[in-house]
Amino acid sequence: MPALVFDGLLALGLVVLAWQAVAGTHLFRSVVLFIAFGLLMSIAWLRLGAPDIAMAEAAVGAGLTGVLLLNTLGRIGPEDVDEPDPRYTRPLRWAVFGGCLLLAGLIAWAVTARDRVAGLAPRVRDQLGESGVENPVTAVLLNFRGLDTLVEVGVLVLAVVAVASLGRPRPRPETRAWEAPPSALLDWFIPRVAPVAVLVGAYLWWAGAKLPGGAFQGGTVVAAAGVMLLLSERPLQEALAGARLRVLVVLGFAGFLTVAALSQVFGGVLLEYPVHWAHGSIVAIEIGLTLSIAACLFVLVRGAEGVYPERDAAGEDRA
Amino acid sequence: MSSALLFTVCGALIVATGLYGLFVHRHILRKIVAANVGVGGVYLVLIGGSAVPGQTAADPVPQALTLTGIVIAVSITAFALALLQNLHARTGARSLDGEGDP
pLDDT per position as a tens digit, B36-85: 999 999 999 999 888 877 777 888 889 999 999 999 999 999 999 999 98
- Sequence-distant (6+) residues with CB within 8 A of A21 are A30, A31, A33, A34, A37, B33, B34, B37
The closest alpha carbon to A147, from A257, A267, A262, belongs to: A257
Residue of B nearest to A84 (CA): B25
pTM for this predicted structure: 0.88
**A139 CB within 8 Å of a chain B CB:** yes
Chain A contacts in chain B segment 4-63 (CB below 8 A) = 4-21, 23-27, 29-30, 32-34, 36-37, 40-41, 43-45, 47-53, 55-61, 63
Chain B contacts in chain A segment 237-256 (CB below 8 A) = none
Distance between CA atoms of residues A119 and A128, nearest Å: 15
Residue of A nearest to B54 (CA): A118
**Tally of CB atoms within 10 A around A23:** 18
**B94 CB within 8 Å of a chain A CB:** yes
**pLDDT score of A307 more than 80:** no
pLDDT per position as a tens digit, A149-174: 899 999 999 999 999 888 777 766 66
Distance between CA atoms of residues A42 and A54, nearest Å: 4
Q: Residue A176: what pLDDT?
A: 57
Q: Give residue A217's pLDDT band: very low, low, confident or very high (50, 70, 90).
A: confident
Q: Do B70 and A53 touch (CB under 8 A)?
A: yes
Q: Do A167 and B86 touch (CB under 8 A)?
A: yes
Chain B contacts in chain A segment 67-86 (CB below 8 A) = 68-69, 71-73, 75-77, 80, 82, 84-85
**ipTM for the complex shown:** 0.92
Across the range A89-99, mean pLDDT stands at: 90
Q: Do A88 and B23 touch (CB under 8 A)?
A: yes
| Contact between B74 and A300 (Cβ < 8 Å) | yes
Q: Give residue A233's pLDDT band: very low, low, confident or very high (50, 70, 90).
A: low
